[in-house]
Amino acid sequence: MPQVPQTFFDALAVRTWCGLALRALGRAREEIDAINVYPVADGDTGTNLYLTMESAAAAVEAVFDGHGTLAERKPPLADAARAMAHGALIGARGNSGTILAQLLRGMAQVLAADGETAHTDGEGLRLALRRAADSARHAVAHPVEGTVLSVASAAADAADGTDGDCGAVARAAYGGACAALAATPGQLAVLERAGVVDAGGRGLVAVLAALVETFTGEAPVFTALERHARVAVDETHTRVEDVSASGATAATPCEGGPAFEVIYLLEADDSAVTRLRERLDALGDSLVVVGGDGLWNVHVHVDDAGAAVEAGVEAGRPYRIRITHFGLGDVHTTGAERPPKERAQRAVVAVVPGEGLAGLYGEAGATTVLARPGEPPASGELVAAVRRAHAREVVLLPNDAELRHTAAAAAEQARAEGIRVALIPTRSAVQGIAALAVHEPERRFDEDVVSMTSAAGATRYAEVAVAERQSWTMAGICQAGDVLGLVDGDVAVIGADVTATARAVLDRMLAAGGELVTLVLGDEAPASVADILEVHVRESYLAVDTVVYRGGRQGALLLIGVE
């Protein structure tokens, strides 16, 4: 579906770009992970870029939420741009994510300068792209050509030679980036040997494609390069399978290089960070230090992880310390000597929209992540829940169509830590309830996943909510305050009364048949609605049972499932 184009760089354009870039990285994440061979072949570049952009997008959304929902109350460009940069900085993951954070910070320095209107046109975008490329290159201790740095510089160079509005500049930058990406195997021997383009550069091209879509309304055609990357992915997988089939041991990611990746946020002044760069540069490689104004994100590959953390302590206050042994997963700096608790064989991790459902899922043995209205969980929260479940096998239930890419990224990271994860694409908590009802930990994992997936897929879902603003829907135009009945994600009924709308939704769903109706009541639903709907089902539909749960503060007035 074509995107409504933005005509200049304002806060809404920042928000649109972040959202489109996040979706683009979500689609390309597995492909990018598969071609990740430099600087370390640890297969996480796509995931790291996604997590970094996810943090940036969430920070921008928080700024918009703070200014209300009316268009005239949108935040200033400077606030949105700074939020994007700050969110990326604190959420940056891996070498690629840290560089992306600095690219976004460089752009924000131009966009946020001198008030709201100074840098909103094509000239401003050219300046922002140049600042982004230069600041990212400066942040890397030893820049290497054939990487995302080359792609960023080429994008800025192409933009420099272009006149016109933001759309024309974005197209030029994207074209320059694509050409530079295609050239990366000829610049870096490890890419040529693997037959792939640079993974970080591929991710940046996806982000720039989202920039083009933001200002033109259409995503650029990327067919030739996508074909090149996918062929490279297939060939890489084939090589790995050949090694496994021969009985040989594949080379570990850290062979010939440092054993640990160390990342932390650091509160320190500029002079201390200058000394820190020198200290870390002597300890290892792949050093990237980004940030400013007292807050920095530090990334380095070293053999002595303790020394890298100690260097941070000497420079200021390090926190959110993450130490990864390449190929082994996380090493936590506290409690590492204690013997690990025995893992359970299998667990279910589920996202739930309210406290009532969290209790229901918890009673059924699931580990839950609470998604409060307007506050969807980040992938890091889902990974933390998977770890908390402490099982060898985990079934993940996102219970929201919008969480598909977030859950996929979390599952991929958990798999990298040695946990077997199956993601069942549940779109509503009522589908999750149906899946959990047939969950049997004693049977084979694959059989359990198939059974749960089948139960979720056989459950139609709906919700009844109140419209917050006037908008177009599949059922016509709704006004603020109207009661909406959504079936399988689309508005099917617009009404004025909660109970009447819910009854109309139920009739539509049961017209195709059903054996069990599940009702989950939110705190703000009328007290009588459950009783009225139960009577309606009993009198109108023979042999259909109804079960009612209290969902608490779940956003929707009512969730409905029909199995």
Query: In the structure encoding, which two tokens stand for residue 355, read together?
Result: 């406290």
- Given a contact cutoff of 8 angstroms between Cβ atoms, the answer to whether 325 and 331 are in contact is yes
What's the confidence (pLDDT) of residue 253? 39
Beta-sheet pairing, 391-397 with 344-352? parallel
What's the confidence (pLDDT) of residue 542? 83
Peptide bond into 5 cis (omega under 30): no
**Full DSSP string of 388-446:** HHTEEEEEEE--SGGGHHHHHHHHHHHHHTT-EEEE----SHHHHHHHHHT--TTS-HH
- Given a contact cutoff of 8 angstroms between Cβ atoms, the answer to whether 48 and 97 are in contact is yes
Q: Give CA torsion, residues 174, 179, 183, 184, to 10 deg.
A: 0
Tell me the C-alpha distance between 201 and 2, whole Å: 25
- Given a contact cutoff of 8 angstroms between Cβ atoms, the answer to whether 458 and 466 are in contact is no
How many residues make up the chain in this entry?
563
Taking Cα atoms as reference points, which of 9, 209, 16 lies closest to residue 108? Answer: 9
**Full DSSP string of 57-106:** HHHHHHHHHHT-SSGGGPPPHHHHHHHHHHHHHHH--HHHHHHHHHHHHH
Tell me the C-alpha distance between 494 and 478, whole Å: 7
- Given a contact cutoff of 8 angstroms between Cβ atoms, the answer to whether 25 and 42 are in contact is no
Indicate whether this model's pTM tops 0.85. Answer: no
Query: In the structure encoding, which two tokens stand for residue 503, read together?
Result: 């009854």
DSSP state of 475: T
Query: In the structure encoding, which two tokens stand for residue 450, read together?
Result: 């198939």
Tell me the C-alpha distance between 465 and 498, whole Å: 8
Q: Is the dihedral of CA 226, 231, 232, 238 positive or negative?
A: positive
Tell me the C-alpha distance between 190 and 186, whole Å: 10
Interhelix angle for 305-315 vs 270-283, to 10°?
A: 170
478 strand-pairing partners = 471
What's the confidence (pLDDT) of residue 112? 84
What's the confidence (pLDDT) of residue 341? 57
Range list of β-strands (E), 192-283: 260-267
**306 CB-near residues (< 8 Å, 6+ apart):** none
User: How many Cα atoms are found within 13 Å in the side-chain-facing hemisphere of 367?
Assistant: 20
Interhelix angle for 11-34 vs 77-91, to 10°?
A: 20
Tell me the C-alpha distance between 516 and 520, whole Å: 13
C-beta atoms surrounding 351 within 10 Å = 27
Q: What is the CA radius of gyration of the chain?
A: 25
Residue 248 phi, psi (nearest 5): -80, 160
Place of tokens 């490329």: 133
C-beta atoms surrounding 447 within 10 Å = 10
- Given a contact cutoff of 8 angstroms between Cβ atoms, the answer to whether 494 and 482 are in contact is yes
Q: What is each CA distance from 231 to 24, 129, 227, in whole angstroms?
A: 19, 30, 6
What's the confidence (pLDDT) of residue 336? 39
Q: Is the dihedral of CA 520, 525, 526, 529 positive or negative?
A: negative
Judged by DSSP in three states, 205 sits in helix
- Given a contact cutoff of 8 angstroms between Cβ atoms, the answer to whether 423 and 396 are in contact is yes
**Residues in the chain, pLDDT under 50:** 1-2, 70-71, 116-117, 223-255, 328-340
Tell me the C-alpha distance between 511 and 193, whole Å: 59
What's the confidence (pLDDT) of residue 422? 93
Tell me the C-alpha distance between 385 and 544, whole Å: 36
Query: In the structure encoding, which two tokens stand for residue 209, read together?
Result: 């494609």
Interhelix angle for 404-416 vs 11-34, to 10°?
A: 40
Taking Cα atoms as reference points, which of 434, 419, 304 lies closest to residue 360? Answer: 434
Tell me the C-alpha distance between 290 and 108, whole Å: 14
Q: What is each CA distance from 503 to 37, 519, 533, 534, 547, in whole angstroms?
A: 56, 12, 7, 10, 15
Query: In the structure encoding, which two tokens stand for residue 164, read together?
Result: 């016109």
Beta-sheet pairing, 391-397 with 420-423? parallel
Q: How far is CA 177 from the centre of its chain?
A: 23
- Given a contact cutoff of 8 angstroms between Cβ atoms, the answer to whether 278 and 315 are in contact is no
Angle of CA points 145, 150, 155, to nearest 5°: 170
